[in-house]
A and B are shown apart, each in its own frame.
Chain A
Amino acid sequence: MADAADGLGLPVGRGIAHSVIALKWLSAFWRAVGPVVYALIAGGVLLLIMGRNPIAFYATTFRSGLFTWAGLEQSIIRLAPLLLMAAGFIVAFQAGLWNIGGDGQFLLSAAMVGGLGAPMVAVMPYWLALILLCLIGFFVGGVWTVIPSFMKAWYGMNEIITTLMMAFIGINLANILIKGPFLSTKSLVPQTDVIPFKYLLPYVPGTRIHVGIIVALVVLGMVHYVQTRTSYGLRLRILGANPKAAVHAGINVKRDIMTAFALSGGLIGLAAAVEVLGVWGYVRADWNPAFGMTLFAIVFLAGLNVMVVIPFVAFFAVIQIGGHEAARQAGLPNDFLLLLIGLILFFMVLTEWGRRKAWLERDRRRRGRRAGGSGRAAEGAVTNE
């Protein structure tokens, strides 16, 4: 909003307007990409301190995550669940709802899909089973948000604490399901029955990438449409920007909190279904990819925009896949990536702060000028009399 006022306040000609817009785009671009670059540099310095060659590390990362066909395929396969999960977070965050319990929703959905998968493909056509399983994943993830959202909507209870607790319950419940009713008798380690390979999500023709990525992109398009082109999306934005104003505007806040939360959990559940049905075919006990916390960072970096988030999540998928190989070669634990993401977040916060400060400074100067100007005018009026 500050930017808009800034831009509108400038008395500019057509040519200048274009360059101003270009500059704005550039600054928006740098605002998003800058923190990533700074974090890569800081991470590189850290690698240097630890006696590793940062250039080789990053080169390996991008080579094995992006510039080889197999690596690129792996990255795109990983992209599918990450995108869906990011969309799930965005839906909640934009409505001002802190859905911290994404990992619980993810794992519980994964356990249900993994457990029901093999029996279901055995009794019905596999394409029908896959569609139903995706819906089950969506449904389970959505249901797991009902208690927090109900308590939030009706009693104003802080959703951070309730989603967090539901996440712990969900993670444990997923394990109970896998070690209990869904336990496979054919495996030595506790896991669910394996869905036969030929019944997993089909490949995109000509590749070994399952169709999950297409599902993800279509769903993201739908979410973007709902958020920007429907009254429901507008209501959620108002709810996020100012919940009190939303009540005064006559918005049914309770209903919107419930649906936004359910949609958020549902998308995260769908992410789990896509990952299980596209890559694994089964779920092992104590499996937890813990995508949730890292995706938080990415989602904020993208300014809670479902379209902007795509390149960021893609970048994340690449460094996740490629970083694994690079860390192995450098003899470092995989967790270097976590540090990198943390650094990105810190630099993002710093950039945001610097921008805000610069804007306040500009605003103050402009006001000072205006006040000064009017003061001189008043003086002039006095002398004229």
Chain B
Amino acid sequence: MSSILDADFFAALLSGAVLAGMPLLFAALGETISEQAGLLNIGLEGMMLLGAYAGFVVANWTGSSWAGFLAAILAGMLVSMLMVVFCVRMGQDQIVVGIAILLSMEGLTSLLHAAQFGTSYPRLGGVTQLSIPLLDGIPVIGPSIFSQPAIVYVGVILIVAVGWLLYKTNIGLNLRAAGWKPVALDNAGVDVLKVRTYAVLATGALAGLGGGYMSIVEAGIFVPFMTGGMGFISIVIAMLGRGRPVWVLIGAFLFGIALSIATALQLAGINIPTDVVQMLPFATVILALIIFVRASYLPSALATPFVRGQR
């Protein structure tokens, strides 16, 4: 039994956290965008699932993980079109539509997988790792953090990009206005529904990418229901992040650690039940909420449809 403070342990923990945290990061960034625009996207997991499926199929077919990621993004956007039509355009209840998206995508991907592969689960080849010169030479964090599949760096860029988009551009201002005060945005002459439509599509793209990451990089296979609650965890992370991409990153990384710590501990010879470890982040967050309790800073028009001329 090796020590818990072993370098190998930390390396395994950190790389595991990045591996498990990335899909959460993608999906939670997406959810952040749609929440800021006033749409609560309960169907996030459905978008991730179709993304995972499409990404896997295309990556399997073309042999290119990038084609897979692209397909995952498109699939996520396709699912988010449902949300655009039903919630943004028709103004129907977002929670009901979100659950409809979740259930139908769970059923659809499972059916498609069964129709295409039956009960066989083909495996993808590994994804090439991209190391950052010099930094990857640092002990412990070098090989675990600075040597990753290229898509991970895309995620890092996306954090900056989303933060910049939301807070430094007119588009971001419109987006947040659509979530906080859609009437004001409408009065300013901007089409609220259009802004919300783009926000939802962006969410779909990011959620799809998160799903694609799970099937292409993390698992290398597609299994029905493989997202297993990751979409819901992402919703929680996005809500706790309150629209700030940096907090989303921290949240995703912490949940990533929690999801991978059990494996890392087992490598170190310590057996802690996975159930306990998986429960910890949620318990911590609930505790933190109770102690530092305050109303969550959610956009005021969240989950309410915008109808012009209706108060």
Question: Which chain A residues have a beta carbon within 8 Å of chain B's beta carbons?
Answer: 46, 50, 98, 100, 147, 151, 154-158, 160-162, 164-166, 168-169, 172-173, 175-176, 179-180, 293-294, 296-297, 300, 332-333, 335-343, 345-346, 348-350, 352-353
Can you report 30 residue pairs joining A to B where beta carbons are below 8 Å apart?
Answer: A50-B115, A151-B290, A157-B289, A157-B295, A162-B286, A162-B289, A164-B235, A165-B282, A165-B285, A168-B232, A168-B279, A169-B283, A172-B275, A179-B275, A293-B102, A300-B96, A332-B111, A335-B111, A336-B107, A337-B107, A338-B106, A339-B108, A342-B106, A348-B96, A349-B96, A350-B86, A350-B90, A353-B90, A353-B91, A353-B92
Contacts of A100 in B (CB 8 A): 42
Q: Which of A98, A173, A349 contacts B90 (CB 8 A)?
A: A349
Chain A proximity of B35: nearest CB distance (Å): 11
Bound together, the chains give a CA A340 to CA B296 distance in angstroms of 35
Question: Which chain B residues have a beta carbon within 8 Å of chain A's beta carbons?
Answer: 40, 42, 82, 86, 90-93, 95-97, 99-108, 110-111, 113-115, 224, 229, 232-233, 235-236, 239-240, 273, 275-276, 278-279, 282-283, 285-286, 289-290, 293-296, 298
- A169 & B286 in contact (Cβ 8 Å cutoff): yes
Chain B proximity of A331: nearest CB distance (Å): 8
Chain B proximity of A297: nearest CB distance (Å): 7
Known: A151-B293, A165-B286. A333 touches B100 (CB 8 A): no
Contacts of A352 in B (CB 8 A): 92
- B97 & A168 in contact (Cβ 8 Å cutoff): no
Contacts of A294 in B (CB 8 A): 103
Known: A164-B232, A175-B275, A342-B105. A147 touches B286 (CB 8 A): yes
- A156 & B275 in contact (Cβ 8 Å cutoff): no
- B100 & A345 in contact (Cβ 8 Å cutoff): yes
Contacts of A350 in B (CB 8 A): 86, 90
Cβ-closest chain B residue relative to A177: B275
- B283 & A338 in contact (Cβ 8 Å cutoff): no
Known: A98-B95, A169-B286, A172-B279. A161 touches B100 (CB 8 A): no
Report, nearest first, the 4 A-B pairs whose CB atoms are least far apart: A342-B104, A339-B107, A345-B100, A338-B107
Chain A proximity of B93: nearest CB distance (Å): 7
Known: A157-B289, A333-B224, A339-B104. A345 touches B229 (CB 8 A): no
- A341 & B295 in contact (Cβ 8 Å cutoff): no
- B103 & A157 in contact (Cβ 8 Å cutoff): no
Cβ-closest chain B residue relative to A337: B107
- B104 & A169 in contact (Cβ 8 Å cutoff): no
Cβ-closest chain B residue relative to A340: B107
Known: A296-B96, A353-B90, A353-B92. A342 touches B107 (CB 8 A): yes
Chain A proximity of B272: nearest CB distance (Å): 11
- B86 & A335 in contact (Cβ 8 Å cutoff): no
Bound together, the chains give a CA A293 to CA B98 distance in angstroms of 11
Bound together, the chains give a CA A161 to CA B233 distance in angstroms of 10
- A156 & B239 in contact (Cβ 8 Å cutoff): no
Contacts of B289 in A (CB 8 A): 151, 157, 162
Q: Which of B40, B103, B235, B239 contacts A338 (CB 8 A)?
A: B103
Contacts of B276 in A (CB 8 A): 172, 176
Contacts of A179 in B (CB 8 A): 273, 275
Contacts of A335 in B (CB 8 A): 106-107, 110-111, 224
Known: A172-B276, A179-B275, A335-B111. A345 touches B97 (CB 8 A): yes
Contacts of A339 in B (CB 8 A): 103-104, 106-108, 111
Contacts of A175 in B (CB 8 A): 273, 275
- A176 & B282 in contact (Cβ 8 Å cutoff): no
Contacts of B293 in A (CB 8 A): 151, 154-155, 157
Cβ-closest chain B residue relative to A300: B96
Bound together, the chains give a CA A300 to CA B97 distance in angstroms of 11
- A297 & B100 in contact (Cβ 8 Å cutoff): yes
Cβ-closest chain A residue relative to B97: A349
Q: Which of B232, B239, B294 contacts A155 (CB 8 A)?
A: B294
Chain B proximity of A215: nearest CB distance (Å): 27
Contacts of A338 in B (CB 8 A): 103-104, 106-107, 110
Chain A proximity of B270: nearest CB distance (Å): 17
Chain A proximity of B9: nearest CB distance (Å): 23
Cβ-closest chain A residue relative to B102: A293
